[in-house]
Structure 1
């Protein structure tokens, strides 16, 4: 029987762009370029490695987001995933991590799965709670923050590296796994992979398809919201130290005044 792997990925604003909030204090995704979250690329890579070791496996990449989120799916498909599912609905605007986990859980159940893989966090929200909440909603074990992961004999095995200890973990499938940025560099899509991705199936779902009411998600159903935000002040001109023989002294006085030393 084929090993069904679902990788949850997110389309996020480019961290190198000018990111800010929209008028409703949600992330402005219109005025900045987006891309597949770098931390999710590690999850795609580990799913591909597991698939290569398995006798028979199929990788589905899943995302929740606007029309442009298909770009994140295409990136994962060009890396080697087999197919994709895109959940898009206007009522999802402003959905928080809890709401997103509910949508993902429904989509995963509809798709079918043995192993769900996630990155350790998204590069925009950086909450890192979604894999655990998703496992709770699905009613399956979670094995999170792994730097090494494999699947053998119906079980997922992994290594979690902490500051003071290393843990070796195991859980029976089905399960939810998250991997860290120490799990191995993600591969670059080849030209052949990019061309092949254009022909791979991308299924579109909305809230009706998942039997989710609009008031359960979006800003209205969010458990967490941004109440207030203050723009970062513009960068001011730095202090110039003119070295006329006492530059070191002036530098030390400045650092002491700023309490750096």
Structure 2
């Protein structure tokens, strides 16, 4: 692959940040953040293709793997961890892997991202197969752990995609479905935890939420399969039932307790 412009490393549009007032710092950051959603809008066709491919595989028991390093890896783990409580799927259906292992979620592991073979080792521990999908996340589009992982997965006939902030990067060229969000230079030069990370979070929300809707984990606009593991969620679930079945809150809570989930309570009493 030829040379590409690493947008994430380009010099900030702002300088002498240390001389700015607090309001100026925050206003300029906000000005940059407003560009993110518009940049994400540009990649919706690619995200849509990925979601449709995922939905077909999920119906047959397929899984979604996110692989990343640093901030990107943490964002993948965050998205994966929210699937069971929000949509009631087992935790092994969407899995986030980070270079350096679970230790790296809280503390950077030196040089872990530089190993081109470790991601495939990590994926094989989960018995990855052709029914699964691997999404590599790397703002730079050059992280060896991620590029190596998607290349190995693709070699084994597994569908691959990526979320990157550098169009034309090695990562984007190594996957079946590249999602390259061009958010421009960061406010602090090279600090991809900022706009790049925000764009990754938005795309991850889109992928997993759209997928869960497509495979029937949402009804109407309600999280009918959410886990009821705290009082707030029990209350929310009961309110969903009151709206759908037109019963009072006490009756809704009783139905929820009896059936164990919003979906089961609604299905049994329609």
TM-score by length of 2: 0.32
Structure with higher strand content: 1
Bigger Cα Rg = 1
TM-score by length of 1: 0.32
Structure with higher helix content: 2
